[in-house]
């Protein structure tokens, strides 16, 4: 294998991230029937906050509280409490994407594995433990802890330093988001693989080294 390290994004690359299911589950604990319309309204707040976070305009803490401020005011629960319960719910319902376990199993012992995620600390270890992957990854780099989010090259530089600065042509970054994962990886000088299950066109100016439609396709690419 030409790579010494393979780095993965977490949400929608290894783990299925069903925010609506998680929110519905979480709000049920507060006797709230969270509907699809509620979710769409939530996303009008949540999505711009994620853009601001990835652009370095707000902190992880601001994102996590601001997205629940209106709901907290509405039902008389602090935004911090709602965020904590949401992350707990997402940990409880988490599942791996199809092919994730087989892919990781096929790579163990052949290459070093890591994760670089803009997801939050409270969720990562829980999910890795629940899915039996905790010991598979030598490095788990979380933007909330580093203080820099993908696609900022700084989080990749931090990860590479923790990896003892391998030759960058020997590192592959795999992710589903062409802007945060692929552009970030390209700017850091590592090879990139876009998990493009929806078969979307590549955004202008972003050209990954590889494009796959599934993790099974990635396994074939890397192991054959």
Is residue 27 within 8 A of residue 87, CB to CB? The reply is no
- Strand ordering across the sheet containing 112-117: 139-142, 112-117, 5-8, 171-175, 191-195, 210-212
Please name which of 96, 98, 168, 109 lies closest in space to residue 136, comparing C-alpha atoms.
109
Q: Is 18 a catalytic residue?
A: no
For helices 121-130 and 79-93, the axis angle rounded to 10 degrees is 20
Instruction: List Cβ neighbours of 48 (8 Å cut-off, separation of 6 or more).
Output: none
Distances (CA, A) of 18 to 15, 78, 139, 148: 9, 23, 25, 24
Instruction: List Cβ neighbours of 188 (8 Å cut-off, separation of 6 or more).
Output: 153, 156, 157, 160, 168, 173
Which one of the listed residues 9, 66, 152, 181 is annotated catalytic? Answer: 9
Token pair belonging to 150: 């993908």
Token pair belonging to 17: 């991230």
Dihedral of the alpha carbons of 52, 54, 60, 62, in degrees to the nearest 10 = 0
Is residue 84 within 8 A of residue 120, CB to CB? The reply is no
Active site residues: 9
């Amino acid at each position: 294998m030409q790579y010494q390290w393979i780095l993965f994004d977490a949400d929608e690359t290894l783990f299925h991230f069903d925010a609506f299911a998680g929110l519905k589950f979480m709000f049920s604990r507060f006797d709230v029937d969270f509907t699809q319309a509620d979710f769409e309204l939530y996303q009008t707040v949540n999505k711009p906050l994620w853009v601001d976070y990835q652009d370095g305009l707000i902190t992880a803490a601001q994102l996590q509280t601001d997205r629940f401020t209106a709901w907290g005011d509405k039902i008389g629960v602090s935004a911090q409490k709602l965020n904590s319960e949401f992350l707990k719910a997402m940990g409880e319902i988490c599942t791996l994407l199809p092919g994730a376990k087989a892919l990781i199993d096929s790579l163990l012992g052949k290459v070093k594995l890591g994760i670089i995620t803009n997801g939050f600390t409270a969720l990562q270890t829980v999910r890795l433990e629940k899915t039996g992957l905790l010991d598979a990854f030598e490095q788990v780099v979380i933007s909330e802890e580093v203080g820099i989010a993908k696609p900022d090259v700084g989080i990749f530089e931090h990860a590479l330093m923790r990896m003892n600065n391998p030759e960058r042509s020997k590192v592959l970054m795999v992710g589903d988001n062409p802007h945060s994962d692929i552009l970030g990886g390209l700017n850091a000088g590592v090879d990139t693989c876009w998990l493009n299950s929806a078969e979307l066109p590549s955004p202008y100016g972003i050209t990954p080294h590889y494009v796959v439609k599934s993790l099974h396709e990635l396994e074939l690419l890397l192991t054959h």
